[in-house]
Amino acid sequence: MMTYGLTFFLSLMAALAATPLARRAAISLDIVDHPGGRKAHHAPIPYLGGVAIYLAFIAILAAGWATQSHSSGIAKATGQLIALVGGASLMALLGLLDDWYDLPALVKLGGQLLGAAILVHAGITIHFNHPQFSILETPITVVWVVGITNALNLMDNMDGLAVGTAGIAACFFLLHAVLALPAQSLVATLSAALAGACFGFLYYNWSPARIFMGDAGSLFLGYLLAAVALKLSLTPTTPQLARLAEAAGYSSTVSQSLHAIALLAPVYVLGLPIFDTSLVVISRLRRGVPVSQGGSDHVSHRLVGAGLSHREAVLSLYLASCALGGLSLLLTRANLKEGLAVSVVTILIAVALMTRFEQLYAVQSRARIPSAVLADPGPSLP
């Protein structure tokens, strides 16, 4: 069985090797992002970076599968693995077609809903310990998958931002899976392969980017991260919780509350794209701008408008993503009071940051900062 470190390394090498090939293919097929409008680049940049990420991930996953023992956690989850990889492959294909033909928004949304339905059919959903909440599991799962898929797609608005954020998130999911009791081999392997593919591609996507991953990459990464988050189990089952609570002198209500707090850990891991999308949606609704319309009002753009360079803005957001990932680890080991305190403080900080970003955006708008300074506005909502 390949170790997770080896899985990461081989996936990294595979992405480093596949990306130049994808770049040549994109140039040959004229699948490029042409300059113009609010875009920061002044020469055509090839797409198909997402195809390189996908192929690196699938190749290493297949190699890892071939070396697994039939008694391993991965072998036991064959059906769910097929569903997860199948749905992710659908997202990659959907994104590739959008990069090539610019698909209508409803077609993309339909594809994302189909991808979410595949996970639900395979049993990869959010699970509540309280029976009366079970009716909410499917709709919340669909909203989560479609929401995270689009959130990462929207974050692909500055060189290296989306793929680096995805790589960091995958690393924290890997940590969660390894530190869980028992360790979750399927989630760990998927996360290691995904992180390696992301960082291998980042070498070519770092500013100034030589290739973009396009929707083929952002939809694939967003969907896969959403699915891995659903598959990750950070708390014991209900009977286990009851026994642990009784042994520790806690009531079952307290144990259920601890479960609810632990469910927030994946939200923290993916907190940056969630925050960015929330900020953009709230800001556009406040300003009476269509939510689906592209624009230079993402967190990255606002940081650049505040005086940071593109690289400084991206690195700052990497640090924020790491901080949120660290908090996610803390949540899984916190008691009820600590977990509630962390959650409340996080919400207050998020609200304060949104307010401050809106104030900065208003100042920047009045100053009429040239749109070229704010970089590529990124994709619009589907």
Structural domain includes residue 249:
no
Structural domain includes residue 276:
yes
Domain residue limits at 33: 4-233+264-374
For residue 289, is it left (φ>0), alpha (ψ between -120 and 50) or beta?
Answer: beta
- Beta bridge partners, 32, equal 46
Q: pTM here? A: 0.88
- Are 186 and 73 in contact by the 8 Å Cβ rule? The answer is yes
Q: Which one is predicted more confidently, 352 or 37?
A: 352
Q: What are phi and psi of 171, to 5 degrees?
A: -65, -40
For the residues 5-9, what does the mean pLDDT come to? 93
Q: Which one is predicted more confidently, 162 or 246?
A: 162
pLDDT-based confidence at residue 254 (cuts at 50, 70, 90): very low
Structural domain includes residue 239:
no
pLDDT digits (tens, 9 = 90+) for 63-90: 877 776 444 445 556 788 999 999 999 9
- Are 22 and 207 in contact by the 8 Å Cβ rule? The answer is no
Structural domain includes residue 245:
no
The CA-atom distances, in angstroms, between 232 and each of 72, 173, 176, 323 are 16, 8, 8, 20
Structural domain includes residue 379:
no
For the residues 171-187, what does the mean pLDDT come to? 89
pLDDT digits (tens, 9 = 90+) for 198-244: 999 999 999 899 999 999 999 999 999 999 999 998 754 444 444 44
Chain centre distance of CA 114: 18
Lowest average pLDDT, out of 37-46, 57-66, 235-244, goes to 235-244
Structural domain includes residue 161:
yes
For the residues 255-266, what does the mean pLDDT come to? 67
What pLDDT was estimated at residue 133?
Answer: 77
Please tell me the total count of domains within the chain.
1
Amino acid identity, position 139: P
For the chain, what percent of residues have pLDDT higher than 90? Answer: 60
DSSP-assigned letter for residue 381 = P
- Mean pLDDT, the chain, rounded, equals 85
Structural domain includes residue 57:
yes
Structural domain includes residue 176:
yes
